[in-house]
């Protein structure tokens, strides 16, 4: 659903621009189905690249999820005092 909305916004934004690249002009000369396919592929690739780059930055750059085993893998045990299951009986 979010991807469909993003496709709509991208498509509308490209149509509003006064100057288009040759590729966009070529796409706009095609049928609506091909236009939609172009914009859904473009939005999907943009989302994929963004998510993969953020994963790489967090995992490799900040060592997120690595290190000693912890309760949830990222937060130290002493910082989870309010979230640990404690038996009072």
- Model pLDDT, residue 59: 85
Residues of the chain with pLDDT under 50: none
Question: What pLDDT is stored for residue 86 in this prediction?
Answer: 56
pTM for this entry: 0.66
Residue 54 confidence (pLDDT): 94
Query: What is the C-alpha to C-alpha distance for residues 82 and 26, in angstroms, rounded to an integer?
Result: 58
84 phi/psi in degrees, rounded to 5: -75, 150
* Contact predicate 3/44, CB 8 Å: yes
Which value, to the nearest 10 degrees, does the dihedral of the CA atoms of residues 19, 23, 24, 29 take? 110
Residue 69 C-beta-side C-alpha neighbours within 13 Å? 0
């Amino acid at each position: 659903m979010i991807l469909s909305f993003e496709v709509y916004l991208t498509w509308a934004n490209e149509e509003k621009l006064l100057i288009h690249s040759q590729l966009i002009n070529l796409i706009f000369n095609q049928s609506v189905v091909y236009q939609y396919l172009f914009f859904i592929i473009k939005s999907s690739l943009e989302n994929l690249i963004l998510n993969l780059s953020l994963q790489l930055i967090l995992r490799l750059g900040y060592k997120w999820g690595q290190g000693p085993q912890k309760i949830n893998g990222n937060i130290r045990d002493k910082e989870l005092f309010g979230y640990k299951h404690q038996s009072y009986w």
